[in-house]
Structure 1
Amino acid sequence: MKGFEQLLRQNVENLFLVLRPPMGKRNLEDIDVSFGFIFSAEPEHLYIVSSSRGEIKTPSLAIEKTPAEILPWSDFYKNVFRWMNTEPAPEEMPLSKVEYYDVSSCSEFKNIVGSEVLSIEGISFHNSSLYFGTKINFDTDHIISTPIEEGNTTETLKFHNYNNLRKFEQIGKIAFQELVPSSQDLDIHLTE
């Protein structure tokens, strides 16, 4: 099992948006989207940074095999809006359905693909040791992953800039702390 510290100094070869179809959602900031990384050193694995699905949301790292079905970036918003306007019967859409969009060659992510993970920070409320989010830093960009009501949202400098952290700042002062290997309570699981 590999923890978040295993992402440090890894070079991002491919980048994916991992989407749980947002059936009936009204706003783009409410869609459940996470980032998936394929690193040069491990091209057969997809590392997905997200939020746990439990009652208390904490950062999670899932390691999966490279997805068999990959959708192009050009379909992302078209499919998101289609899902947002859909209310299928529960038997028509399994809750575990996930779509993988390859965004490796998109200009919005050019400062991440081909870059090295320089540092990883846990996001918590000031004076709390329980992290609710993750910030992954690259040379000229970053990825912030935080929980939303029904999953996870993620943003970079050029993608999905809804500043979900503002919602947490309304509750209390937030703090960023660089992660130190084996000292953090993070949800990490391997799925094959």
Structure 2
Amino acid sequence: MSRIGRRPIALPAKVEIQIDGQHIAVKGPKGQLSRSLPPLITVQQNAQMLTVSRLNDSRPARQLHGLCRTLVANMVDGVSKGFERRLELVGVGYRAAIQGSKLVLNVGYSHPVEIPFPPGIQIAVEGNNIIVVSGTDKELVGNTAARIRAVRPPEPYKGKGIRYLGEQVRRKAGKSGKAKK
């Protein structure tokens, strides 16, 4: 049995769960999320605990068991605490700003790059070079942060670009120059 899948999910006090067959909806202080689960997986609520189980021990059911438990746990965490990813801009003249519902990045291109916010995501800029992506859906927060990072990923020679806060960029040595006799 899946070690992750069999762990129960504790429900915080202000989180409400609605289970309609294979559809689960989670509502909390930060918002609400819903997801449809595969037919091989079932979710039961016992007091302040959720238990995710599988119908049989077939290979697809075993594969989905831990995944679905983690997805439901992330939904519960998202509506109660929320998720956040921080990115930093490294480079001379690199800066970020928010204009309306778009993030505007000046990252060394001849034009500013505009990225619209997806619904359910909040983006804030601290200073000129720290971008904070937050929301209730962990998958959407991670994808949005990855899309922002993909505009100018960190390069290995000078380390310039957009990176996750605390990310280590492996640096390469540049040209060593012409060998002299």
Check whether TM > 0.5.
no
Q: TM-score, normalised by structure 1?
A: 0.22
Which fold has the larger relative contact order, with Cα–Cα distance below 8 Å and residues 6 or more apart in sequence?
1
Please identify the structure whose Cα radius of gyration is greater. 2
